[in-house]
Structure 1
Amino acid sequence: MRPNRLRQIWAEGRAVLNGWCNIGSAFGAETLARQGWDSITVDGQHGLIGYAEMLAMLQAIGTTEAAALVRVSWNNPGEIMRALDAGADGVICPMVSNPAEAEAFVGACRYPPAGYRSFGPTRAGLVHGADYAGQSNGYVLAFAMIETAEGLENAREIVTTPGLDGIYIGPSDLSLALGGPPTQDSEDPMRLAAFDKILAACKTAGLKTGVHTTSVAYAQKMLERGFDLVTVAADARYLAAGRRELGEMRKWLEAR
């Protein structure tokens, strides 16, 4: 079984640059993956993506060197297992607020005796190899999202969950939980203090930390702050960035 690329990158002391897919398109996912991202996350929570589209996107990403992650819509064992059976290299689970929820999430990612994942790696066994069953527990990445007030309060306990690989921060929901607007790339001291609390807890527990950003400048700041993975932007945002060229064309036309 080939090594998990993200585990290799971290073992080499490097940070992971993650791309994000909100749009349900296999070609879009393949195009993004071929730009050189270390990993691509298929967003099954806020992305406009169903199961069949997710499967096709994982297949498309699989033609590249990028690792394929899936953010599931909720801490639902069946959904987590289906994403892994479809071949995902790791799962990001939203709204994990306490140790019991973290334990339930990790358990769905691991085969017995480490967890309770049901056996049936339909595509995963095909693409990851015949030894997938025996190697999966050490291969698959399990990232819990801390983004609620309860989750922040319980951060030190959540990160001690056996089998948990890391924490991924959702800044917008965390901002709401702290009483602010759901903004991204914030310099608010309360938000940054929450980041630092999670970072410190993860460092003590030996876990990796990831964070969602929407700009290169902020992503760089987060890497300097100590994060191990940064999402720089998403396909929908890149598509919307085309308005710049449109604006230039309209100005040119108006000036004629």
Structure 2
Amino acid sequence: MRSDSTGTGLWVGSTDPRVVRATAGGGFDWACVDEQHGGAAGGRDNTGLIAAVRAAGVTPFVRVAWNRPELIGRALDSGADGVIVPMVDDVEQARAAAAATRFAPRGTRSFGPVRSVDAVALTEPARANADVRCLVMIETVRGLDAVADIAAVDGVDGLFVGPFDLSLALGVDVTALLTDDGPDAPLRRVVDACRANGLVAGAYAASPDRTAHLRAAGFTMIAAVDDLTMIANAAAGAAAEAKRAGR
């Protein structure tokens, strides 16, 4: 994931590797297993889900439940190429997240050579440090106020906006947040901080309309849809079409 590339992502809420492989293989560039919300993947051994994403030929990420080194290390040990870390408010929290993704001397990640048979082989530490991606989420007022400093933290590879939490924190509707194109607009501040530091600008959309707004704002790594909603919508469409055909 480069700062100058565009990637369309799938947000994974399913806990069935067969479903994850089928949906991730639909043409997405990356997919993120969500361990924070929904109670689906959180607290599980998600090696099989990450392996299913990789088997579909897609880059696997994990949104960890919180900014804790054991959660970040577990996600990476399970085969993820990178992590998305929620609710990062300041430089110290960003440094902690970045350190947890990398082995010494760059970071504090613990070396665990034993992995599930479903995961890819563990690379040597220097290569793993170079290849891993750490994105921190900007979704609070404190995080937004510190966004320029957070973006400058060594080891942070991208910023990822959670528009629903950020809109709640700012006291505005999510649509107002997405359509604000003023010179000091929150999304503009995030994108500008990414561009100034050569970082990936990512965001969660989960709908075509929101994806279009985020693309227009300059975001390049966008979670365009979540798998369970996509399946539900496809099922509803197929059922409706079948009923029309039978009339």
Alignment of structure 1 residues 37-56 onto 2, 5 Å: 37-47=28-38, 48-56=40-48
Q: Runs ≥4 in structure 1, deviation > 6 angstroms?
A: 250-253
Q: Find out whether 1:93 has 2:85 as its counterpart.
A: yes
Structure 2 equivalent of residue 67 of structure 1: 59
Counterpart CA distance in 2 for 1:37 and 1:68 is: 11
Structure 2 equivalent of residue 102 of structure 1: 94
In structure 2, relative to structure 1, the CA distance for the partners of 1:115 and 1:80 (3 Å cut) is same
Counterpart CA distance in 1 for 2:179 and 2:81 is: 32
Counterpart CA distance in 1 for 2:98 and 2:21 is: 28
Q: Find out whether 1:23 has 2:14 as its counterpart.
A: yes
In structure 2, relative to structure 1, the CA distance for the partners of 1:244 and 1:185 (3 Å cut) is farther
Q: Find out whether 1:84 has 2:76 as its counterpart.
A: yes
Counterpart CA distance in 2 for 1:164 and 1:217 is: 28
Deviation, 1:250, is: 6.4
Per-residue CA deviations over 1:196-246 (Å, capped at 9, x if unaligned) read 011111111111110111223432342233212111100121122133444
Deviation, 1:27, is: 1.1
Q: Find out whether 1:158 has 2:156 as its counterpart.
A: no
How many pairs align? 245
Per-residue CA deviations over 1:56-105 (Å, capped at 9, x if unaligned) read 10121221210100000100110110000111000000000000100111
In structure 2, relative to structure 1, the CA distance for the partners of 1:17 and 1:151 (3 Å cut) is same
Amino acid paired to 1:243: A
Point out where structure 1 has 5 or more consecutive residues left out of the alignment: 1-5
Structure 2 equivalent of residue 215 of structure 1: 207
User: SS at the partner of 2:55?
Assistant: coil
Deviation, 1:127, is: 5.2
Counterpart CA distance in 2 for 1:130 and 1:232 is: 30
Alignment of structure 1 residues 1-256 onto 2, 5 Å: 6-7=1-2, 13-47=4-38, 48-123=40-115, 128-129=120-121, 131-181=123-173, 186-188=178-180, 193-241=185-233, 242-247=235-240
Per-residue CA deviations over 1:148-172 (Å, capped at 9, x if unaligned) read 0100011011111111100010000
CA contact (8 A) 1:84 1:121 kept: no
In structure 2, relative to structure 1, the CA distance for the partners of 1:97 and 1:135 (3 Å cut) is same
Q: Give aligned-pair identity as a percent.
A: 33
Counterpart CA distance in 2 for 1:26 and 1:128 is: 16
User: SS at the partner of 2:179?
Assistant: coil
Deviation, 1:251, is: 7.2
CA contact (8 A) 2:22 2:56 kept: no
Amino acid paired to 2:236: R
Q: TM-score, normalised by structure 2?
A: 0.88
User: SS at the partner of 2:33?
Assistant: strand
Amino acid paired to 1:30: R
Counterpart CA distance in 2 for 1:168 and 1:228 is: 10
User: SS at the partner of 1:62?
Assistant: helix
Counterpart CA distance in 2 for 1:61 and 1:180 is: 35
In structure 2, relative to structure 1, the CA distance for the partners of 1:17 and 1:64 (3 Å cut) is same
Point out where structure 2 has 5 or more consecutive residues left out of the alignment: none
Counterpart CA distance in 2 for 1:27 and 1:110 is: 31
